[in-house]
Structure 1
Amino acid sequence: MKGIITWFADNHVAANLLMALIIVAGIMGLLSMKVEIFPEVSLDTISITVEYPGASPSEVEEGVIKKIEDQVAGLAGIKEITARAQEGLATVIIEVEKGWDIKKLLDEVKTSIDRITTFPEEAERPVVREVTRVHMVISLAVYGYSDESTLKEIARQIKERITNLPGITLAELSGVRAREIHVEIPAENLRRYSLTLGMVAEAIRNSSLDLPAGRIKTESREILLRAKGRRYYAQDYAQIPIIVRPDGSKVTLGDIATLKEGFQDVDISARFQGLPAVIINVYRIADQNALDVANKVFEFLEEIRPSLPKGVFVATYQDRSKNLRSRISLLVKNMSYGFVLVSLLLGLFLDAGLAFWVALGIPISFLGGIMLLPHLDVSINMISLFAFIMVLGIVVDDAIIVGENIFRKRASVGDPLRASIDGALEVGRPVVFAVLTTVAAFWPLLLGTGTMGKFMRNIPMVVIVVLMGSLVESLLILPSHLAICRVR
């Protein structure tokens, strides 16, 4: 340690280059960090979904689920496999062993699934993905004096326009009931046409499916064909043929039944300012910036408000980006106050030049830590900002101790360079051990497992890298600056 401290104190260009490197790398790291409300963490779960249009739950189980389970059951790292078969859809959930490399297992699962060649022809391509927790950035309320169907349709249109905005890809409706088509068939109509409810249900099911229709290979690419048959409205269902006679005439569902559009009979509702409402939740995913997402939504709201139907309104229901902005503002404010107070107090009792260089250690230490955080998969979020605010109170301690000791040495030694070297060396070891004891206090948080462990790892990561930056600044950069600083 003695050699490197002495070398940097005597080589001012090297110390300044190191400081410039930290500043530039820190700014680049800051610009490349993701901005999110809370950390996006893996749930140690892999999801496999396969659409199988028109298949019953038993057909889904036999044709899809059992084949997937047999194929992946022997892979190492799997803790538990659960599956659910429902009409037209197979879902397989793989829980991963703690500490296992989920990315590696995900690749192995994809490879294993690709080896299955006996899926039913009607089954879609399996979708294999890692399950992660995504967090809402902002939610909107579409409310007014209109009926539920109108509000839902307007909210759906707004949601689609929001997801078409650049930088926003995920938005969901909540507080709404699923649409239903109610089919009422008089018993006399069933008798007249010799029908049963099962026969009618089967005809409806077969006539409301999206089915794959094969592939066409061209010289440049392969084109997937699909027969679009799914129906969404009562008038579409009314045209479904129930009976087709030899002469080509048809008896449609509309001929034997009364169809009405409605909603599921479940207790789901949302209200805003005392009026019926539909909630639109907007999320940040992947590398999207939470603050940019919120800003684009706000701009979009101002754009669409004049074009809304009379009696329908849209407003912000919940804005989590406000909390993120508030915490960023608090960090900047506290850092500014710390810089000013350290400068004033050290300048008042010691020396103005010493005060400036010591106070400069605050931003340099932070930038020194920030340049490493993107490589440690740490983002700007509520948890990491809490850690920044917490470490702000201790990050300048190293520089104050080293700077004050160098100032004291200059009074007795006289030679600025000798005083800087001796002063830094004298307190260097205690400063290092003081930092290491703080690191040791936060280290156990890095050992946490499960979702909460991944969630909280941001705190020790931020504290440790910023303290390491403080150590580098106070022992390598500060002595060099004080060696050429004039002291009264």
Structure 2
Amino acid sequence: MKKIANYFINNGFIVNLISTAMILMGLISLMHMKRDLAPAWNWKHINISTSLSGAGPTQMEKFVTYPIEQSIKNLQGIKSIDSESGQGYMWISLSLKEDFDDSQELVQKIKDTINNLRANLPKETEEVSVEEIKSVDSFFTQYALVGFDEKNDEHQNWLSKIKLRVGHIKGVSRVNDTARKKQLYIQLKPEEMARYRLTKSQVYTEVINAFTLFPIGTITKGSKDILVEIESKDLQLENIKNIIIKANSSGHKLKLSEIANVQRRLPKRSTREYINGTPSVELNIRKSLDSDAMKLKEEVESFMKKEQEGAPKGVQISVTHDGPSFIARQINALKSNSVFGVILVVLTLFIFLGLKNSLMTTLGIPLAYSFTFFILDTIGISLDLISVAGMLLVIGILVDDAIIVAEQYSQELEEGHPPKEAALKAVMKTWIPITGTVLTTIVAFMPLLIAKNPMTEFMLAIPLVVILALGVSLFESFFILPNHLSHFVREPMNEKRMTFINNLRSIYAKVLEWGLKLRYLVIIFFIGFMGYSVYFASKNIPTDFNLNIQSEKVRFLAVLKKSQSIETTEKIISPIYEDLNKLDKNRYNWLSTRIGRAWINGEKQEGPQYVTFSIYFSQLDDNVEANKKYVEQELKKTLEKYRKSGLYEKLDVSRNFGGHDDAKNNIVEVIISSNAPFEMQEISKKMKETLSPIKGVKSVDLESSKLIDTWVFVPNHSKIFSHGLSLTEVSRQIRGYINKSKIYEYKAGPEILKVYSYIEDGEKQTKTSLENKPIILYNGNSVKTKELGTWEVRSRYNTIKHNDLKRSFIVELPFDDKLITKSDLIKTIKEKMITLEDAYPLLSFKTRDADEQSRENKSSISKSMLYSVLGIFFVLAIILRSIVQPLLICSAIPFGVIGVIWAFYFQDLKLTLMAMIGIIGMAGVVVNDSLILVDTINKMRSSWKSFSKKIIITGATSRLRPIILTSITTLGGVFPMAYGIGGDSGFTKPLAMSMGWGLLFATVLTLLVLPCMLMIQADFMKLFGRIAARFTRVQDDQATSEGQESPKIEDFDIPLIAGTNQENETNQTIQ
């Protein structure tokens, strides 16, 4: 090491060449790195789905869902199985084990198993889909086509062309819109069908044939090929009406128009959307994962600007959800905050080390970043919020090892050594301990790097950036910095700066002397304070371990008690819209209104009674957070005004992240399951009575598994068979009076034409009218449905769910996290559920966080943090050759958590996943500071008997400057991001906040509490020494009487517990 360090100190040309190369390589990589919002999130899930038209939830469960579940339950790699059976459909979601990697093989095994089972499934069951859930693209941007008229063919054709052309832009993966498209509807006439003795099956066959391509082949004659084909008709509406259904030899033809009304029209409106009060449709654009979001933004914006010029009259293209602008705003804020962070780091170093020293030390930051950019670009990591967050996390840590080298160099100069000799001595005295301190930080982040789960894969860039940057910084500190110091910093610090530092040390010595006198009280107080803080946090600080990385909107949700149509809903909610329209329009961008669909508790609800008002904000506005707060407060005032009207079942104002409507934030669920079917009415009633009074619970909701009225046809098989019918034909004809059956899909250019058949509109039916509907017989006659069976009214669940093959019902409890924390609510619910568990012993009740991603992330980050602490402990144990002292050093971590708790509480912040990452970063830095202090004090004592307050005070004050410097530079690096000095950092704010405040608090405790712990350790070691001495005297008396030599007191030293001085004497002092 000495030869290598000396070579670099004496070869300035090589050092400068390496430095320049590192910076150039980084700049080139930075210019070519892909920019994006965040990495793709990949869940280890497999979805199985199929449909069976006309089957009820109970039938789907019994004949489709349960057999498939039974057939796959023992396949290797499956962690849990959830399923839902509904009206004509079923899906099964398989969650895979985190360490299972053969997902493709499992998919094939599932397909083979289901194929073997196929003969036992109902004959009419559609093809069973088995697919692994993978992220193939991501949300890019959303446009509103304001003034778009769905009935206008010109508008529809223009939209089709736009979608086609946008889809051809490189980087765009999908383009979707919400405009209704004209479809083909065939309304059959039962009387005419009876007259011509036609069944629905015969009609469907001929209609499908008209759309079918009938290839024939190719004839080869010599060198020529001749194609032979049957001409396909141009499927205009008139041609479809003229489809021949039946014909005879006399030339009589029966056309489709004679037995049915054929129309090409828009489907019935189920939703209606407005932007700032004007009807509109959405145009959603998604991007491929490997495309650069910012480059694609420029291309799409340029395209849309040109398209606006040729848009139909009255149609305006407006951006309502600009993903790239959100990315740009976040990255620009992070860049600005990093600049402020570097400035603060330089100023701090200037105060303590002087101008030249501070500049040389800070040079490590661009060198470390540049080479890190090069490595990230080489391995394919994007420049996104996660990687930039890692860079900001490490900005203050990067100079820690350089500070120690520079500070030691200053001491060597003060002792009179020439610059080059001082540089070499500084490296040789610090390289082993600095490597150890860097290693503890690397070990802290290593679990995030090597763990295999969706969260760690998503956050991969953070540990990579930290480890790479620290590795480069370590190289710079030992081989580049010493050369620069020896050439540019040739004199020790001036006396004025040393006077300031000495005064600071004097004040600290007095405070520490007071603390050591009251050491037991100090320790008891801080341990008690730590325990209280953790308890306080569990009751008062909400947690959110979901990763919502998107722009935020404010949502006003309204659910009417009763509404029969969208038009009725529009009239009822018009006063609300008028009130919202009075908001200061300078505070927001767009007011979006959607009638007919809403997301409630993470579930999509449809019906005319559901209304959502969404307010979007400009991502370029520096006051966006203040504007959100203003709008949210105004909407809550509006909510209270209409809550008393009695028209609304539910009114709610909340903030939501774009693209995360299905997130179950602030919801706890109780899963009730059993191996046997059971009824929920009585249980749900008791649960509401039991759980509704809990403080903070907004409602007790029985998810989507609700009882609905069901008209059940009970067939009389003998009568059906006596008329020459089958139950299949009867169900098909009854379905024509209920639903529009899709009989074919035809791809016409860029659009898909769907062909529907029906007899009557189901909305007009009653039970009595269904009893009198005719069923056409094969002979052309007809009978009423009541002659073939009876109609009954029963209550049935609209969906049936399974959890690990058990029938289950989910009761959801949305709560106010300002009144109760999630963990506290779960604990309270479990306590209250004991009585219900006793009353229903055959049922199992499981209470958990409703957000699956949040549950998984919490478990993963908790495990990673435990491994981090354990890894740090082992590294410290190896360095100090002790068990007790690493425990004392690691105690700085929970003490740092105290600062995080109170900082988050007083600033009304949630403890998020990024906050936990910040705590890991804080742990690495504060452990380094503690290690510096402990190792220095250990070197100053010859044995535990010589350990005294004077040694502790002398050792602690000598290390005050490097400890304060490493802590303050880290604080300077993260506090601009925490408080948005260069712009609100949004998603990464909790990371900076937890690391900054945790480190600030932990540093204070390191300087005060840790010396007290060391003094208490010395007290115990001296006590053990006295006990050992007494034991020795007893043995001495026995040995004297027996004529044996007695053991020495030194033989009772306990190096593993206390930490030896013998080993440490050969090591270099940690500076």
TM-score between the two structures when normalised by the length of structure 1: 0.76
1:283 maps to what in 2?
286
Q: Which digits, 9 at most, give the CA deviation of each residue in 1:89-134, with x for residues without a partner? A: xx999865533445xx648979999xxxxxxxxxx9x998872263
- The answer to whether residue 376 in structure 2 is matched with residue 373 in structure 1 is yes
Q: 1:453 aligns with which of 441, 456, 461?
A: 456
- Structure 2 Cα separation of the partners of residues 203 and 56 of structure 1: 21
- The alignment status of 1:237 with 2:240, answered yes or no, reads yes
User: What residue is the counterpart of 2:203 in the other structure?
Assistant: 200
* CA deviation after TM superposition for structure 1 residue 373, in Å: 2.1
- Kept in 1: contact 2:110–2:130 (CA 8 A): no
* Other-structure match for 2:575: none
Kindly indicate whether the alpha-carbon contact (under 8 Å) linking 2:372 and 2:469 is maintained by their aligned counterparts in 1: yes
Distance 1:183 1:341, change over 3 A: same
Q: State whether residues 148 and 276 of structure 1, in contact with CA within 8 Å, keep that contact through their aligned partners in structure 2.
A: no
Instruction: Report what 2:360 is aligned to.
Output: 357
- Offset at residue 289 of structure 1 (A): 0.5
- Aligned to 1:314, the other structure's residue is in SS state strand
The one-character-per-residue Cα deviations of 1:19-66 (angstroms, maximum 9, x if unpaired) are 23422332344345332222113333578999xxxx999xxxxxxxxx
- 2:46 touches 2:130 (CA, 8 Å); kept in 1? no
Mapping of residues 338-487 of structure 1, within 5 Å: 338-344=341-347, 346=349, 350-487=353-490
Cα deviation for residue 288 of structure 1 reads 0.6
* Contact preservation (8 Å) 2:137, 2:173: no
Q: 2:176 — aligned with what?
A: 172
Instruction: Please tell me whether the aligned partners of residues 335 and 362 of structure 1 are also in contact (alpha carbons under 8 angstroms).
Output: no
Q: Is the 8 A contact 1:30 1:370 kept in 2?
A: yes
Rate the CA distance shift 1:212–1:290 in 2: closer, same or farther, 3 A. Answer: farther
CA–CA distance in structure 2, aligned partners of residues 27 and 226 of structure 1 = 61
- Using the alignment, how far apart are the partners of 1:228 and 1:477 within structure 2? 79
Kindly provide the amino acid, as one letter, of the partner of residue 393 in structure 1.
G
| Whole-Å separation in 1 of the counterparts to 2:460 and 2:230 | 49
How far the C-alpha of 1:418 sits from its partner, in A, is 1.3
- What's 1:120 paired with? none
* 1:305 shift after superposition: 0.9
- Aligned-pair distance for 1:290? 0.9
Q: Which secondary structure does the structure 1 equivalent of 2:396 belong to?
A: helix
Structure 2 distance, partners of 1:231, 1:400, is 80
Question: How big is each residue's C-alpha offset from its partner over 1:249-286, in whole Å with a ceiling of 9 and x where there is no partner?
Answer: 75332343222233444733432222222212222213
Q: Distance in 2 between matches of 1:397 and 1:26?
A: 22
Shift of 1:321: 1.4
The aligned counterpart of 1:5 is: 5
Structure 2's unaligned 5+ residue stretches are 55-71, 85-90, 112-126, 221-227, 492-1071
- Structure 1 stretch displaced more, 228-237 or 430-439: 228-237
The yes-or-no answer on 1:131 pairing with 2:134 is yes
- Look up the SS of the partner of 1:393 in the other structure: coil
Letter paired with 2:164: E
Answer yes or no: is 1:163 the counterpart of 2:182: no
CA shift, 1:243, in A, is: 2.3
The verdict on how the C-alpha distance between 1:185 and 1:18 changes in structure 2, with shifts beyond 3 A counting, is same
Query: May I ask how many residue pairs the two structures share in their alignment?
Result: 459
Q: Is the 8 A contact 2:144 2:281 kept in 1?
A: yes
1:331 to 306, 329, 334: 334
Where 1:270 maps in the other structure, the secondary structure is: strand
CA gap 1:110/1:485 in 2 versus in 1, 3 angstroms: farther
**Is this contact kept in 2: 1:41–1:133, CA < 8 A?**
no
By how many angstroms is 1:369 displaced? 1.9
Cα distance between partner residues in 1 of 2:146 and 2:450:
47
Do 1:152 and 1:278's aligned partners in 2 also have CA atoms closer than 8 Å?
no
The answer for the alignment partner of 1:66 in structure 2 is none
Does the 8 Å CA contact 2:136/2:288 hold for their aligned counterparts?
no
Instruction: List runs of 5+ in structure 1 lacking aligned partners.
Output: 58-71, 85-90, 114-123, 218-224
Tell me if the contact between 2:148 and 2:280 (Cα under 8 Å) persists in the aligned partners.
no
Conserved? CA contact 1:210–1:226, under 8 Å: no
Moved more, 227-236 or 409-418: 227-236
> What is the CA distance between 1:325 and its match in structure 2?
1.0
| Stretch moving more, 39-48 or 279-288 | 39-48
Give, as a single letter, the amino acid of the residue that structure 1 aligns with 2:324: S
Does 307-316 or 194-203 show the bigger shift?
Answer: 194-203
Q: Give the Å deviation of 1:2.
A: 4.3
Residue 56 and residue 327 in structure 1: after superposition, are their counterparts in 2 closer, same or farther (change >3 A)? Answer: closer
* Equivalent in the alignment of 2:769: none
Q: Is the 8 A contact 2:419 2:487 kept in 1?
A: yes
- Between the aligned partners of 1:267 and 1:13, the Cα distance in structure 2 is 74
- Of stretches 396-405 and 467-476 in structure 1, the one that deviates more from structure 2 is 396-405
The answer to whether 1:321 aligns with 2:324 is yes
Contact 2:405 2:426 in 1 (8 A): yes
Could you say which structure has the larger radius of gyration? 2
Equivalent-residue separation in structure 1 for 2:427 and 2:238 (angstroms): 84
Q: Measure the CA separation in 2 of the matches of 1:338 and 1:230.
A: 70
SS across alignment from 1:287: coil
From the superposition, tell whether residues 456 and 193 of structure 1 become closer, same or farther in structure 2 (CA, over 3 Å).
same
Distance 1:468 1:249, change over 3 A: farther
Question: 2:138–2:289: 8 Å Cα contact kept in structure 1?
Answer: no
Contact 1:271 1:277 in 2 (8 A): yes
After superposition, the CA RMSD in angstroms is 4.7
* Deviation of 1:366 (Å): 1.1
Q: Tell me which residue corresponds to 2:792.
A: none
TM-superposed deviation, 1:433: 2.8
What is the distance in 1 between the residues matched to 2:141 and 2:460? 25
User: Aligned partners of 2:2 and 2:219: how far apart in 1?
Assistant: 73
Matched letter for residue 161 of structure 2: Q
Shift of 1:292: 1.3
Query: How far apart are the structure 1 equivalents of 2:73 and 2:234?
Result: 38
The Cα of 1:199 is off from its aligned counterpart by: 1.7
Residue 139 of structure 1 aligns to a residue whose secondary structure is: strand
**Cα distance in structure 1, aligned partners of 2:39 and 2:416:** 51
Bigger mean CA deviation after superposition, 287-296 or 251-260: 251-260
> How many angstroms does 1:448 deviate by?
4.8
Q: Which amino acid aligns with 2:408?
A: N
Structure 1, residues 202-252: CA drift from partner, whole Å, max 9, x if none? Answer: 3223333468878999xxxxxxx9999799864563343322444677533
SS at match of 1:43: coil
Rounded Cα–Cα distance in structure 2 between residues aligned with 1:216 and 1:423? 89
Q: Could you tell me which amino acid in structure 1 is paired with residue 19 of structure 2?
A: M
Q: Residues of 1 paired with 2:216 and 2:92: CA distance?
A: 25
Cα deviation code 1:424-475 (max 9, x no counterpart): 3333333333322322333333355433332223322222222222222222
Aligned equivalents of 2:254, 2:248: Cα separation in 1:
8
**Residue 271 of structure 1: SS of its match in structure 2?**
strand
What is the alpha-carbon distance in structure 2 between the residues aligned to residue 164 and residue 465 of structure 1? 38
Look up the equivalent residue of 2:245 and give its one-letter code.
I
Distance 1:24 1:47, change over 3 A: farther
Give the counterpart letter for 2:40 in structure 1. Answer: E
Give the drift of 1:340: 3.9
| C-alpha contact 2:150 2:181 (8 A) present in aligned 1 | no
SS in 2 for 1:280: strand
Does the aligned pair in 2 maintain the 1:172–1:281 contact within 8 Å?
yes
Paired residue for 1:39?
39
Shift of 1:422: 1.4
Aligned residue number for residue 274 of structure 2: 271
**2:147–2:279: 8 Å Cα contact kept in structure 1?**
yes
> Which amino acid letter does the alignment assign opposite residue 357 of structure 2?
L
2:16 equivalent to 1:16: yes
Letter aligned with residue 421 of structure 2: R
| Farther off after superposition, 232-241 or 430-439 | 232-241
Q: Normalising to structure 2: TM-score of the pair? A: 0.37
* Kept in 2: contact 1:270–1:277 (CA 8 A): yes
Which secondary structure state, in structure 1, belongs to the residue aligned with residue 363 of structure 2? helix
**Which structure exhibits the higher relative contact order, with contacts defined as CA atoms closer than 8 Å and separated by 6 or more residues?**
1
Residue type of the alignment partner of 1:450: N
Preserved contact between residue 181 and residue 262 of structure 1 (Cα < 8 Å): yes
Once residues 426 and 232 of structure 1 are traced to their aligned partners in structure 2, the CA distance between those partners, rounded to angstroms, is 87
